[in-house]
Amino acid sequence: QVQLVESGGGLVQPGGSLRLSCAASGIRLSIYTVDWYRQAPGNGRELVASIRSGGSTNSVDSVKGRFTISRDNAKNTVYLQMNSLKVEDTAVYYCHTQTWKDYWGQGTQVTVSS
């Protein structure tokens, strides 16, 4: 059974940092593209960043230079390092991957507020 479990969210002040983790079981993340999405209240789910099996990455313009996606294949975990956080980064963050079906984690809340 495939499971994705996010962790690392919390409350942080503007300008602060958080590192989100997506730990997988039942699937080897290293051979798939893994994405981080986020969903703010009243908004749809937005793709934030992706990392491909070869290690190449891309991210949405609003987080470029602030967020970094990476993976630790030995730990079967993908990370999202978030620096210089802004109030508008407040959202539930989800990990996602796709084989012949879509897999999502349960989400982790990130709140940026003074």
Predicted local distance difference test score (pLDDT) of residue 48: 98
Q: What is the pLDDT of residues 48-66, one digit of tens each?
A: 999 999 999 999 999 999 9
% of the chain with per-residue pLDDT over 70 = 100
**Secondary structure class of 89 (helix, strand, coil):** helix
Confidence of residue 43 (pLDDT cuts 50, 70, 90): very high
Number of Cβ within 10 Å of residue 41's Cβ equals: 7
Q: What is the pLDDT of residues 12-38, one digit of tens each?
A: 999 999 999 999 999 999 999 999 999
Confidence of residue 81 (pLDDT cuts 50, 70, 90): very high
Task: Annotate 25-88 with DSSP letters as a single string.
Answer: ESS-GGGS-EEEEEE-TTS--EEEEEE-TTS-EEE-GGGTTTEEEEEEGGGTEEEEEE-S--GG
Predicted local distance difference test score (pLDDT) of residue 98: 96
List Cα–Cα distances, 22 to 5, 14, 38, 76, 83, in angstroms.
5, 23, 13, 8, 17
Query: Rounded mean pLDDT of the chain?
Result: 97
Predicted local distance difference test score (pLDDT) of residue 42: 92
Q: How buried is residue 54: exposed, middle or buried, by Cβ count under 10 Å (0-12/13-18/19+)?
A: exposed
Predicted local distance difference test score (pLDDT) of residue 71: 96
Predicted local distance difference test score (pLDDT) of residue 97: 97
